[in-house]
Structures are given as structure tokens and as C-alpha cells.
Amino acid sequence: MDKILSRRSEDYLEAIFNIQKEKKYARVKDISSYLNVRPSSVVEMLKRLNDNRLVTYRRHEYVVLTPAGEKIGRIINDRHITIREFLEMINVPRRIADLDACIIEHELHLETIEQIKNLVKFVKSAPNHPNWLKHFERFCENGKHECKENKKDKTYLLSIDREIGIKNRSF
Amino acid sequence: MDKILSRRSEDYLEAIFNIQKEKKYARVKDISSYLNVRPSSVVEMLKRLNDNRLVTYRRHEYVVLTPAGEKIGRIINDRHITIREFLEMINVPRRIADLDACIIEHELHLETIEQIKNLVKFVKSAPNHPNWLKHFERFCENGKHECKENKKDKTYLLSIDREIGIKNRSF
DNA sequence: TCCACTATTTAGGGTTCCCAAATAAAAATA
DNA sequence: TATTTTTATTTGGGAACCCTAAATAGTGGA
């Protein structure tokens, strides 16, 4: 399942996907203003996407995603959200997180996205979630772990070692 | 400090940077084989980079990075390493981590890279570093945190809360 | 019907990269 | 040094992608 589509095509699909969430189907004008390009550019792209069976497009009528197109639109959108969430989680400012998500949503291998998704879930669902983040924030500020090497840590660590089956920890 | 260079130009700078680490200066042939392109393509690019004062290039002589070019080459390479480290840390297979790093090393905002770098440092230097990773691995496998809600955890969490100044935790 | 809005076609442009073939220069070797 | 081999450069072209302005055509509401 190699990369067929240009990233720009994916942008269009994502745009249509998002527009469709609001209004049964997208019009050229909608897409044009969503992506900040001229209508003629949209029409050109729609033809391409239509040829690739990613949208159903008939002149002067409507544009809707085919199942294949919707799948891609959804995936790209999902990646966007995942990446943005991850970046925000590690304190990248929202605006930048969003911009960077726009870029890399197109580029990453499945495995990579999957792991980022896992990481986000991991941190979010951790029993000490808000804590982890606070901890990280402090680390960003002063480069140090704040609760290093005290007794309770060791107790805790050893208790986990036991749980997950590590035998010898060298502190 | 906006983006001037194409990602491909950055690839060339990174290539030259890496070649220079071995052999005072890079030759057309070296770059050509490093990037898997024909010599004529290299020459063309070298001219462009020379015009932009990113390399010093005289025909039939040598190619070296200018300070400006070296700075970029180093930055891109550094990003590559950072991103790859991050991806490997979250269990993306090495090959894929490397490929994806190749792509996104060009694209991200400074702030984003900075935070990824911080994250890697944070995890690596954590007192319970290998543990964190093991923990994450398990989570990837079964989607659950393995040491949830036991007493020792709570003790640990509260101890950290105290340290970083959180008042009321709702378990 | 006529206007205003939207969509489409046409024709063209720009960027970025790449390559093959011919040529030229440099290096190696006889 | 002369010749061969290796490397570099120039020239000319091309493909992929995306975008636009201007002219034209279609659609729906007043």
C-alpha cells in the first residue's frame, strides 16, 4: 500500500471530509475558501480525484467522497488530531502544534503514527497523568527531575520491577 | 527567520556535512552516491547553494560548507538524530524511525523540535527510565497500565505531589 | 427574463528536481 | 610525456505538482 497521493491531494480530501461533517456535500466554493485557493484550482483537483475514484464529482452538481476517499480523509484528519494532541501534550504552543500537524500528517509511516497514538493514550490514561505532565514541565524549565533518588522512589520502582518481572535493578 | 531552503537543499547540506566529518571536503561523486542522484544533479544544486553562500564551490576543485551552510547541515542532522531517537524510544522499528526522521527533520518548527528533544531527555534521564519504557511497551501490548491503583502507587504519587506543589489529588 | 453568483475551461506560469549525452578537465598509469 | 580512466560540467529537456487570470457557461432567485 504505497503512497499514491500527493500531500496536496490529501489536503483536499481532508478538507472535503471536514466540510461534509457540516453540510451533506461540499461545493467548490467551500473547498476554495477552506484551502485558500482559487476555484479553478479546486476544479482541477476534483477532476483528478474523480479519476482516482476518491470523490464523486459531476460538474455543476455536487462533490462527495467515495468510500475510498472518505477513508483517506478520515485517516488524515485523525492523524492531524493525534499529532496535534501529542505536540500539545509536550507543551508545543497550540498554533504551532496545529501547523506542524498539518505538515507531518501526510508523511509518517503507519507504525509511527500508531506509536504516537499509543504514547498519547499511555500518558493520558496513566494513573498519574496530570502529574507526569507537571513533572515534564518542570523538567523543561530547569532540566532536572525533581524527585530524584529518594527512598520512596526506590520503593516504588522496585514494586513495579516486581510486577513487570525485572530481577535486578542497579540504581 | 523564515524557511528559504527547499527540503532537498537541506538534504544536500546534510549530506555534505556528514561527508565532511570523514574527509576534509566532499566531492561531487561522494554527494552523488550519498544521495543516489547523478553527478549533473549535484553540480546543479551546488551552484544554487554556492549562490546562496551555503557552500564554497569552485569547479573541479572542492566543496566545503560555509559557516552558514554548516550550521544548517548540523541542525538538520541533529534533528534527524533527535527524531529518530524519539521514534525508537516509542518502539518504532529502527528502519522506519530513520525514514520518518528523514522526512520530518525538514519540516518542524523550532519549538516542536525543542520539545521533542526535551521529551527524550526527560525520559532518558528519569530515575526510572528503563522502567518507564517497559511500562510503555506493556501498554502497547495490552492497552492497560499494569500497576494501576495500588497502594504504593498512591504513596508515590502523593509524595511527588508534595514535591511539586499539588494540593488535592482526586484518585 | 435578467442578474448575481458559482463553476468550468483554457492557456499559461513557476518551482523544484531529475536525467542523458556530449564535453572538458584532472588524475593515474604506462 | 602521452594516453587512458575517472570525475566533473554543460546543455538541453522533461516530469510532477500546484497555482492563477480571464473568458465562458451554467444555476437559481428576484
CA A80/CA A165 separation, integer angstroms: 37
In chain B, ranges of CATH 1.10.10.10 domains: 1-125
Mean pLDDT by 10 residues, chain A (171 residues): 81 96 91 97 96 91 93 96 96 95 93 94 87 88 70 44 44 45
Q: Which residues touch strand C (CB under 7 A)?
A: A 27-29, 32, 39-40, 42-44, 46-47, 57-61; B 6-9, 35-38, 40-41, 44-45, 60
The pLDDT score that the predictor gives to residue A82 is: 96
Task: Please provide the CATH number assigned to the domain covering B1-125.
Answer: 1.10.10.10
Q: What average pLDDT does this structure show over B113-121?
A: 94
Instruction: Convert A9-28 to b/e letters by CB count within 10 Å (16 or more is b).
Output: bbbbbbbbbbbbeeeebbeb
Cell of A169: 535493578
HSE of A148, CA atoms in CB hemisphere, 13 A:
13
CA A119/CA B133 separation, integer angstroms: 11
Q: Is pLDDT above 50 for B37?
A: yes
The whole-number Å distance from B155's CA to C12's C1' is 71
CA A138/CA A136 separation, integer angstroms: 5
- Tens of pLDDT along A11-27? 999 999 999 999 888 99
Alpha-carbon distances of A140 from A20, A99, A145, B69, B116, rounded to whole Å? 40, 22, 10, 29, 11
CA A147/CA A77 separation, integer angstroms: 38
- Tens of pLDDT along B122-156? 999 888 888 888 888 998 888 888 764 444 444 44
Is B43 in contact with B60 (CB distance < 8 Å)?
A: no
In chain A, ranges of CATH 1.10.10.10 domains: 1-124
The pLDDT score that the predictor gives to residue B102 is: 94
Q: Is the dihedral of CA A67, A73, A75, A77 positive or negative?
A: negative
**Of A99, A138, A145, Cβ closest to residue B125:** A145
Task: Please provide the CATH number assigned to the domain covering A1-124.
Answer: 1.10.10.10
Q: What residues in B contact A152, CB-CB < 8 Å?
A: 155-156, 159
CA A32/CA A28 separation, integer angstroms: 6
Q: What one-letter code names the amino acid at A22?
A: E
